[in-house]
Amino acid sequence: MCKVLDNSLYIKERKKYLKISQCVTSFNALYNKNNIIQDDIFCVLENYAARHDMPLELLRYPIGDAELCACTFIRQGRMFVMINSAIPLSKQIFAAAHELYHIYCYCEEKDFALLQFGSILESGVIEDEAKELEDMEANAFAALLLAPRDRLEEQSDVYNLSYKEVSVQLILKIMDIFAIPYKAAVLRLFEEEKIDKKTARNLLQIDRDEINKQMEVTGKAVRWQEIPRNLIRFGSLLEKMYDLEQRERVRDERLNSDKARLKEIEKMLGKPARQRRWR
């Protein structure tokens, strides 16, 4: 986990980090105000795309590869964001915020790489380290968006948090408040100079089993580590099917066939990966 610190944008590209921080401040002022986002990130993402007249389909369903957290691509002028719902909720939230940065770059900076190549977020980028600059930027954007400086200061006062001797339990409290992964919480405290580099390294070296054990004992941040069962969302597909049904714009036979196929897909996605047989 120590490479998480060394390969953070804050350490490697401080000027770029400050620019990302300013982007987040502007973004929050326009699209979020003073809210602590948590799992509202999915609504924030959809709202941002809508306000930029970008047709967006947000897909959330379980896939067999736990290393794949999210991906974004554009087809025929429509943007698709897929979030793997078989990973803990905090990682889904962070993944959505990470992908939001790529979409932000596409819309604001006219970076058309997303159009050509798409974006794939792997588990290692969240859990261990980001090697590519754009992923470092996206991670910094996500962490700053989910745990912005003002809200961090505010919540520190509300909960009377002391940073003189930072323990795992304090990190868990930050995770609980902002719904962010462990390493993101440590990095945010380091970036805001709540802890020094030595303390950050020590916290990042703590064994995952110990972190999980303290989480279980204290109950802190447990809600964000849960994996929602059978969470399957196909963007606006169900709404469109319902609209067609109400307007009687499609034959009953076709509609019933599509519903049956959708149920079949949902049932298949709900099975463990080893039981799936894709057609």
CA angle 138, 139, 140 (to 5 degrees): 90
pTM exceeding 0.85: yes
Burial of 248 (0-12, 13-18, 19+ CB in 10 A): exposed
pLDDT score recorded for residue 231: 83
| Gyration radius of the chain's alpha carbons | 20
Q: Quick check: 58 and 237 in contact, CB under 8 A?
A: no
Long-range CB pairs of 129-136, under 8 A, 24+ apart, other chains included: 129/3, 129/4, 129/6, 129/7, 130/7, 130/8, 131/7, 133/9, 133/13, 133/16, 134/102, 135/98, 136/7, 136/8, 136/9, 136/12, 136/13
Nearest to 203 by CA among 186, 225, 180: 186
Query: What is the reported pLDDT for 244?
Result: 58
Q: Which of 114, 144, 118 is nearest to 8 (CA)?
A: 144
Q: What pLDDT shows up at residue 136?
A: 94
Q: What is the mean pLDDT of each run of 10 residues along the chain (279 residues)?
A: 83 96 96 94 96 93 90 90 95 97 90 82 88 92 97 97 94 98 97 96 95 96 91 72 63 67 66 40
Question: Within the chain, how many helices (H) and strands (E) appear?
Answer: 15, 5
For residue 48, give every residue at least 6 positions away whose Cβ sits within 8 Å of its Cβ, in sequence order, or none.
31, 100, 103, 104, 107
**pLDDT reported for residue 118:** 86
Cβ neighbours for 19, distance < 8 A, ≥ 6 positions apart:
none
pLDDT for the residue numbered 4: 87
Half-sphere exposure of 197 (CA within 13 A, CB side): 8
- Coil, strand, or helix at residue 165? coil
The Cα–Cα gap between 168 and 231 comes to: 30
